């Protein structure tokens, strides 16, 4: 275990007893400060489960997770991370400003301090002027930017993202990828990014963790040595294609767990219900 690690995962296994499925098996990996790490794999490989284990939203069956040198549980209680889901999970009854301020309200910040931070955050995600809009008045891409602003409002050292751009169209997605990289450079936080787009993973990440399904294991880790900052031209870099091929090779031969019926989302839902 690396002493500097922001996230340290040691021998994590997760079995969903009810469905009798091993979602994660013996996962060990350290994430260093400022890294942008993607988790990639076919549906059912446990990448969303792993993200939730890091966030202490799911407890591992065995193994330990430390975040900021604390247990994952302590880190959650200390609000050490922000999270972004595939759905923006914005509250329709709150304006953009109030959605972003939600975690600050829970922290007990006063109104003035909240307003200042909200202003910074809307500027960061380039949504200044939309503070008093309601979420349903915004496009999908804008909603997801609000969601990112909300996650970053508490200035977490760690940002967890569960397929944040998976529901967006290709063009919006590429624009938000660039925006995310700009924000990441600006803030220097560590990012864990779940995706099943190979090119997205390679384009964004400093490392790509490739996972296999049933049980979810780490198949391999690809270091992405593309120059920073990444730009639109990065997509045309020959090295980009080599790395995409490397990730694809690792993924090849992994059978999709979708064929055996249950999807990871269903497992998570089943677990929620207990």
Partner 1 sequence: MTTIVEPVPRGAFTRRVGRHVGDWIPALVVFGLGLASWQWLFPWLGVERFLLPRFSDVLDAFWTQRDSLWSAGWFTFKEALGGFALGCGGAIALAVAFGRFRRVGAALMPLAIAANAIPILAFAPITNAWFGLLSPWSKIVIAAVLCFFPVFVNTLRGLTSVQPESIELMRSYAASEVDVFTRVRVPTSLPFVFTALKVASVLAMIGAVVGDFFGGSTEALGIQIESSVQLSRYEEAWAAILVASILGIVFYAAIAAAERRALSWHPSTRGASE
Binding site for partner 1 (CB under 8 A): 52, 55, 57, 76-79, 81-83, 85, 87, 89, 91-94, 102-103, 106, 134, 136-137, 154, 268-269, 272
Query: Least distance to partner 1 from the beta carbon of 30, Å?
Result: 22
Query: Least distance to partner 1 from the beta carbon of 229, Å?
Result: 29
Query: Least distance to partner 1 from the beta carbon of 133, Å?
Result: 9
CB-nearer residue toward partner 1: 79 or 185: 79
Q: Report the SS3 class of residue 273.
A: helix
Query: Least distance to partner 1 from the beta carbon of 177, Å?
Result: 22
CB-nearer residue toward partner 1: 190 or 206: 190
Q: 81: which strand partners?
A: 158
Residue 136 CB burial class (10 angstroms; 0-12, 13-18, ≥19): exposed
Q: What angle do CA 170, 174, 175 make, to 5 degrees?
A: 120
CB-nearer residue toward partner 1: 56 or 200: 56
Residue 244: CB atoms within 10 Å:
19
Query: Least distance to partner 1 from the beta carbon of 55, Å?
Result: 6
Nearest to 221 by CA among 25, 1, 5, 41: 41
Distance from C-alpha of 50 to C-alpha of 48, rounded to nearest angstrom: 5
Given CA atoms 220, 35, 175, 146 in this order, what sign does their dihedral have? positive
Query: Least distance to partner 1 from the beta carbon of 206, Å?
Result: 24
CB-nearer residue toward partner 1: 3 or 17: 17
CB-nearer residue toward partner 1: 77 or 221: 77
- Let me know: does 273 contact 59? Beta carbons within 8 Å: no
CB-nearer residue toward partner 1: 119 or 133: 133
Distance from C-alpha of 44 to C-alpha of 23, rounded to nearest angstrom: 8
């Amino acid at each position: 275990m690396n002493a500097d690690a922001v996230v340290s995962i040691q021998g994590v296994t997760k079995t969903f007893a009810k469905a009798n499925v091993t979602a994660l098996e013996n996962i060990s990996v350290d994430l260093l400060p400022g890294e942008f790490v993607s988790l990639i794999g076919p549906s059912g490989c446990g990448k969303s489960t792993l993200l939730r284990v890091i966030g202490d939203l799911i407890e591992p069956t065995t193994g330990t997770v430390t975040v900021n040198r604390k247990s994952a549980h302590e880190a959650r209680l200390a609000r050490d991370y922000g999270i972004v889901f595939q759905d923006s999970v914005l509250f329709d009854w709150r304006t953009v400003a109030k959605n972003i301020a939600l975690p600050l309200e829970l922290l007990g910040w006063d109104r003035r301090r909240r307003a200042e931070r909200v202003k910074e955050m809307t500027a960061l995600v380039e949504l200044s002027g939309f503070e008093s809009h309601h979420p349903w008045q915004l496009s999908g891409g804008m909603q997801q930017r609000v969601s990112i602003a909300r996650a970053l409002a508490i200035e977490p050292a760690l940002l967890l993202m569960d397929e944040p751009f998976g529901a967006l169209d290709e063009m919006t997605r590429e624009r938000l990828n660039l925006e995310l990289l700009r924000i990441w450079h600006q803030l220097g936080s560590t990012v864990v990014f779940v995706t099943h787009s190979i090119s997205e993973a390679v384009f964004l990440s400093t490392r790509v963790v490739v996972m296999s399904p049933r049980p979810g294991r780490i198949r391999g880790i690809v270091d992405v040595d593309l120059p920073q900052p990444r730009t639109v031209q990065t997509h045309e870099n020959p090295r980009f294609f080599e790395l995409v091929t490397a990730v694809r090779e690792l993924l090849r031969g992994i059978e999709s767990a979708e064929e055996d019926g249950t999807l990871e989302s269903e497992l998570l839902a089943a677990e929620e219900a207990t």
